[in-house]
């Protein structure tokens, strides 16, 4: 040991060794388009940022051009292929050495698809809260099934299905017909649930996840096609009870990039890309890895996508909830995740209008009582059929914020986070948020039982809960002026659209200047605090 100590000392304090202790911040993707995107990251030591990237984990496409010297790096990757998934590793050039990050990020370009997003509800909606548009299907389970069978009948080359359970023979018949006409159909079901309709299947099917639940409800169509690629997802199982009785929602997206991401997830559970299931290489539940991109630009809308249990889905949902600047509405089968409970209570205590409906309030660890005690306007569902939804609506009536919808198969439970195969979408779009609000208002009023009920998280809640202040210029190229009503001492936070803190500090006086030149172009939220309480909030656009 004595002879090793001098050697270790030299290594620890040599220039080579010290360079290896560079800490890389998380690589953040922005400005997603069909030929590239921007990657931003920080380093604990200054130097020139440079990206290593490729279509495989080997990063075979080499290095991008390096950026300016500093500790905050923003690098544009351009001339990329549309609808492709790229592996990207940040590097730092320092003292002649190229130091790589230990983490490779997975990012994707936008597709050339139409980007159309359709929303279906199998039960009634409340048209009184509409902003002038409506969901594509509502109050018609039969129309939703017809839409699904039409999509199956239109498939040209591939259909991948990951469905918790099925007892609908007409859907299996449509899949059989697709297989018979040459479409490659692959089907994954949950191990341990009834899948009676599959007894007549002529396509390969397999049950997976013996330790948790294969709880997905998604289908992927023609991922290799620009215009025929679709993803069908949401909360609806392929059973008569879920389709015709319980309350559910479905999302249908025409986007090749998203279809490719879902195909990667399916292939991981299937054990490969072939038509035959491979038990040796199949990975489900906690055996999987976080191996897909999470940000997509679909029809001009930012869409986040997460697969459980590997992708920190609860953190993504929590960030969406905490980004709320006016109102939150949720309809959930179960709510037992304390991390999400605390996020909802945080928004309630900050003055946002929060309302919800929970079906299974008797589940072990249910957060219903805590939410109710915390002042949340939450109903224990009292209707004859189950609220099977797993959705939350963020800022549907707060137009100067970032309206979002969280939906998918992921219940707000620890089992969904840690054990189950699930998928979640977070769609940033005011119109879609309003469509979900129409559904929520109908469910809320049914539980209230009043003929005159209309759930309306009014904009006045935003206006009375926060003070107003001026920000100019807005949009800005990087520097903004803040003007208050009088001399004040306030703390501030600048949040990105994922609810993550990008910058914080303090302003004093009646006017202040913030320099945001180092930040990527996009949308941000400036929140001012007085004595630890939110005082005011505005959206900032950088261009």
pLDDT, tens only, 123-136: 999 988 888 899 99
Residue 183's pLDDT is what?
98
**CA 283 – CA 421 distance, rounded (Å):** 10
Percent of the chain with pLDDT over 70: 93
Query: Is there a contact between 344 and 375 (Cβ–Cβ < 8 Å)?
Result: no
**CA 61 – CA 104 distance, rounded (Å):** 14
Indicate if the pLDDT at residue 324 is higher than 50.
yes
What ranges do the domains of the chain cover? 22-108, 117-305, 323-462, 467-542
3-state secondary structure (DSSP) of residue 512: strand
- Tracing tokens 């090749």 back to the chain, one arrives at 256
pLDDT level of residue 500 (50, 70, 90 thresholds): low
pLDDT, tens only, 171-190: 999 999 999 999 999 999 99
CATH of domain 467-542: 2.60.40.3080
CATH class of the domain comprising 323-462: alpha beta
Residue 248's pLDDT is what?
98
Mean pLDDT is lowest, of 145-154, 466-475, 513-522, for 466-475
- 0.85 surpassed by pTM: no
pLDDT, tens only, 270-311: 999 999 999 999 999 999 999 999 999 999 999 999 999 999
Tell me whether residue 215 is exposed, middle or buried, using C-beta atoms within 10 angstroms of its C-beta: 0 to 12, 13 to 18, 19 or more: buried
524 pairs with which residues across the strands? 540
- Computed over every residue of the chain, the mean pLDDT equals 91
Report DSSP letters for 393-406, one per residue. EESTT-TTS--EEE
pLDDT level of residue 13 (50, 70, 90 thresholds): very low
pLDDT level of residue 532 (50, 70, 90 thresholds): low
Residue 533's pLDDT is what?
65
pLDDT level of residue 9 (50, 70, 90 thresholds): very low
Higher pLDDT, 103 or 501: 103
Q: Which CATH superfamily is domain 117-305 in?
A: Endonuclease Chain A (3.30.870.10)
pLDDT level of residue 108 (50, 70, 90 thresholds): very high
Q: Are domains 22-108 and 467-542 of this chain identical in fold?
A: yes
3-state secondary structure (DSSP) of residue 392: strand
What's the start-to-end Cα distance of the chain, in Å?
58
Indicate if the pLDDT at residue 19 is higher than 50.
no
Extract the runs of DSSP E, i.e. beta strands, from 2-129.
28-33, 36-54, 69-77, 85-94, 97-100, 105-108, 117-121
Tell which CATH architecture fits domain 22-108: Sandwich (2.60)
Residue 91's pLDDT is what?
98
pLDDT level of residue 468 (50, 70, 90 thresholds): confident
Residue 6's pLDDT is what?
38
Residue 466's pLDDT is what?
59
Phi, psi of 507 (to 5 degrees): -120, 150
Q: Assess whether the previous peptide bond of 309 is cis (omega < 30° from 0).
A: yes
Residues 6 or more apart from 4 whose CB is under 8 A from it?
A: none
pLDDT level of residue 496 (50, 70, 90 thresholds): low
Indicate if the pLDDT at residue 501 is higher than 80.
no
The angle at the Cα of 249, spanning 239 to 288, to the nearest 5 degrees, equals 75
Indicate if the pLDDT at residue 425 is higher than 70.
yes
* Total residue count of the chain as it appears in this document: 543
Residue 534's pLDDT is what?
66
Mean pLDDT of the region 12-27: 65
**CA 543 – CA 532 distance, rounded (Å):** 31
Query: Is there a contact between 438 and 127 (Cβ–Cβ < 8 Å)?
Result: yes
Q: Cβ of 144: how many Cβ atoms within 10 Å? A: 23
Indicate if the pLDDT at residue 475 is higher than 90.
no
pLDDT level of residue 540 (50, 70, 90 thresholds): confident
Residue 526's pLDDT is what?
85
Mean pLDDT of the region 102-116: 98
Extract the runs of DSSP E, i.e. beta strands, from 316-435.
327-332, 353-358, 377-380, 390-394, 404-408, 422-428
């Amino acid at each position: 040991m004595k002879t090793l100590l001098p050697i270790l000392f030299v290594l620890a304090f040599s220039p080579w060794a010290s360079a290896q202790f560079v800490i890389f911040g998380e690589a953040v993707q922005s400005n997603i388009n069909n030929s590239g995107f921007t990657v931003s990251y920080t380093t604990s030591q200054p130097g020139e940022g440079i990206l290593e990237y490729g279509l495989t984990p080997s990063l075979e496409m080499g290095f991008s051009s390096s950026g300016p010297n500093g500790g905050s790096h923003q690098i544009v990757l351009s001339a990329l292929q549309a609808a492709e998934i790229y592996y990207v590793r940040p590097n730092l050039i320092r003292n002649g050495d190229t130091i790589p990050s230990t983490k490779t990020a997975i990012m994707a370009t936008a597709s050339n698809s139409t980007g159309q997003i359709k929303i279906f509800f199998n039960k009634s909606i409340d048209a009184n809260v509409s902003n002038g548009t409506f969901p594509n299907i509502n109050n018609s389970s039969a129309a939703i099934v017809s839409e699904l069978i039409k999509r199956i009948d239109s498939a040209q080359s591939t259909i991948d299905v990951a469905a918790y359970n099925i007892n609908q023979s007409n859907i299996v018949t449509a899949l059989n017909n697709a297989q018979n006409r040459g479409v490659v159909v692959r089907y994954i079901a949950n191990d341990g649930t009834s899948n009676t309709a599959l007894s007549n299947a002529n396509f390969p099917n397999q049950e997976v996840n013996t330790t948790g639940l294969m709880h997905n409800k998604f289908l992927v169509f023609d991922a290799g096609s620009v215009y025929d690629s679709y993803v069908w997802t949401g909360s609806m199982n392929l059973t008569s009870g879920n389709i015709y009785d319980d309350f559910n929602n479905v999302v249908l997206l025409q986007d090749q990039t998203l279809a490719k991401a879902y195909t990667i997830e399916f292939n991981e559970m299937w054990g490969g890309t072939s038509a035959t299931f491979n038990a040796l290489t199949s990975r489900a539940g906690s055996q999987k890895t976080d191996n897909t991109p999470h940000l997509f630009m679909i029809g001009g809308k930012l869409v986040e996508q997460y697969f459980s249990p590997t992708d920190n889905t609860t953190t993504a949902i929590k960030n969406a909830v905490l980004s709320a600047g006016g109102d939150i509405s949720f309809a959930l089968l179960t709510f037992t995740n304390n991390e999400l409970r605390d996020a909802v209570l945080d928004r309630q205590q900050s003055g946002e209008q929060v309302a919800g409906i929970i079906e299974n309030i008797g589940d072990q660890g249910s957060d219903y009582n805590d939410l109710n005690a915390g002042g949340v306007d939450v109903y224990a569902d009292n209707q004859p059929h189950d609220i099977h939804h797993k959705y939350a609506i963020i800022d549907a009536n707060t137009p100067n914020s970032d309206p979002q919808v969280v939906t998918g198969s992921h219940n707000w439970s620890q089992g969904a986070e840690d054990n189950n195969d699930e998928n979640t979408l977070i769609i940033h779009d005011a119109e879609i948020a309003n469509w979900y609000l129409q559904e929520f208002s109908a469910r809320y009023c049914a539980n209230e039982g009043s003929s005159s009920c209309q759930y309306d998280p009014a904009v006045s809640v935003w206006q009375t809960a926060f003070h107003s202040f001026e920000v100019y210029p807005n949009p800005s190229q990087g520097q903004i002026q803040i003007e208050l009503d009088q001399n004040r001492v306030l703390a501030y936070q600048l949040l990105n659209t994922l609810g993550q803190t990008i910058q914080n500090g303090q302003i004093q006086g009646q006017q202040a200047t913030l320099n945001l030149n180092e930040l990527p172009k996009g949308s941000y939220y400036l929140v001012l605090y007085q004595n630890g309480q939110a005082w005011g909030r505005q959206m900032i656009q950088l261009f």
